[in-house]
Each structure stands twice: as C-alpha cells, then as structure tokens.
Structure 1
C-alpha cells in the first residue's frame, strides 16, 4: 500500500457545504421527494436535472450504538468487508494525508454485469459540531483500469455520511447518508434509482446486525 504525506485534497469546501446543505434541506422547493419512513430510517430522493441519477438521502438511527463505534465500522475497511456484503472486494489502494483511494467491486443480480467503482474517501472530525463526516468522490487509479476485470465502471458523483450522537441519548447514533452513484451500462436509471433508494435501510440493518452479533460480543 502506497502512502504519502502531501497537501493535495480532492475535496473542496464546496463539496462539504453541498453535503451539509442537502442534508439540511428536505423541502419540495429544494427538489426533494419523500419516499418512506419507519422508526429507524427515513428516505428521500432528489432529481437533479444535470445529473443522470437521483441523489438519495437517508436519516438513520442506531439505538444503543455509540457514534465512535459507527465511525470505526465505516472507516475500518476490514470491518466493512464483514458487514457490507454488497461488495465482495474492497481494496484500500492508497492512503494519503487528506484522503484514501478505495476500490469497490459491487455484486449485481444474476444476468447483470458486476460494477466496480474507484473512490476518493475523506474523513474529518468536527469537534465544535460534535460530528464526523465522510466524503466520497469519483477517482481513477492505474491499479484498476476501467473495464480491466470484465466489470462495468460506475461513477460516484458526490456522496457523504455524517455521524452525530443522538441528541436524546449520547450513547446512540444519528447518521445522515447521501448517495449519488451512476452504475452506468444498460440498466435503466429508473431501476438504478429504485435500487439505490433501498441502500439506506440496507446499510442501517447490516451495520446494526453486525455490531450486535459480532463486533460488540468480541469486545
């Protein structure tokens, strides 16, 4: 694994502000459409005219799981491989001062070509706001040329995760998840959007199950 201590950062302040803005706004005037809600997950979508796929937003609750544990399970890619079964291959390609480069292979349904994505991933802790955020943006890397493994290369437009303590219980977590990935290929965008809109519930349920059944019991 290559390492570097440079000052390059693929994420701008505008990237962060967009994620924070889109997290905050949930109005029809801002283009957001409410999809569904239960006690632990609320999902919205936004159709941006200049983007090929919807921006998906989920507000997730993790009762009894502290924010630092959620952050660990998101950041530690070896742990991520254990709970995020949608990606049979997760490879940490490079680590830099402000970001990491990660390769993901996404398993698709039978009859559909698998997709892969190379991402820049940045993480920062905001002590004043008592939150940790992750930013995801498309990347390229010579180790994983597009189409080299028989997959179709997807594109991450801009995605983000914000992790905070639950205001009513500091030992629990509130997460905001924003996803915008174009899986490319022949799959109609209507199907891509419908599939992506299920991601917040899948994330929440898989992460919670892993924490209680495997992670917490080993501590």
Structure 2
C-alpha cells in the first residue's frame, strides 16, 4: 500500500457455475465471508466484496471469440481519499484480467 495507507485484504467465497444462465456460459460469483480460521489481522483492513464476479461466454465459434463481463463493487473500508480510490479502481480490472490470462 502507498505510504500512509494501510494494507487491505479480502476474504471471499467464490462460486463457479457452468452452463448458467444458459448452456456455454460460465458464471463466477464472489462475496465476502467471515471464517474462524481467517480472523482479522492487526494493521490490515479487511475490505468487503459487495458483489463481484465474471460472466464468460463464447459468442462466436469460428473463429472463437469469448466475451468477458466483469462486475465489481467493493468497499475498501477505512479513510482513503476518493481520488486515490478512483485512480486504483480504474486500473484494477485490467490487472485482474491479466492475472486470469496468466493463470490459464
């Protein structure tokens, strides 16, 4: 985290549903949870996932084209200037997609 801003963590439950709402569509849903084995850590602010996820759908067969829809609403908690939140939130989805691609 930048100087003067506490680190953040998320504790999420992630669910993947195949062929939802129609055949060939993959839906990934993330939500915040609490778990006794993952308590809050001193000095780290636990952010909240309000609603987040991906919808992955192949929209064309030849050549194959896949559409990815990203939904992300999070409360990062704490006192962070709005301009810093907006600056980071514009970059985060691109980074997430890069991580997703690298993981495949």
Q: TM class, shorter-chain normalised?
A: 0.7 to 0.9
Cα deviation code 1:106-130 (max 9, x no counterpart)? xx23442110111121110116341
TM-score by length of 1: 0.41
The yes-or-no answer on 1:193 pairing with 2:98 is no
- Pairing of 1:98-113 with structure 2 (within 5 A): 108-113=1-6
Pair 1:131-2:28 in alignment: no
d(CA) in 2 for partners of 1:166, 1:201 = 21
Q: Which residue of structure 2 aligns with residue 180 of structure 1?
A: 73
Q: How is 1:1-219 mapped onto 2 (pairs within 5 angstroms)?
A: 108-126=1-19, 128-146=22-40, 148-167=41-60, 169=62, 171-208=64-101, 210=102
Using the alignment, how far apart are the partners of 1:169 and 1:129 within structure 2?
18
- Could you tell me which runs of 5 or more consecutive residues in structure 1 were left unpaired when the two chains were aligned: 1-107
Q: Name the structure with the higher strand share.
A: 2
Q: Distance in 1 between matches of 2:59 and 2:3?
A: 39
Detail structure 1 runs of 4+ shifted over 3 Å in the superposition: 168-172, 205-208
TM-score normalised by the chain length of structure 2: 0.79
Q: Give the structure with the higher percent helix.
A: 1
What RMSD, in angstroms, separates the aligned Cα atoms of the two structures? 2.3
Q: How many residues align?
A: 103
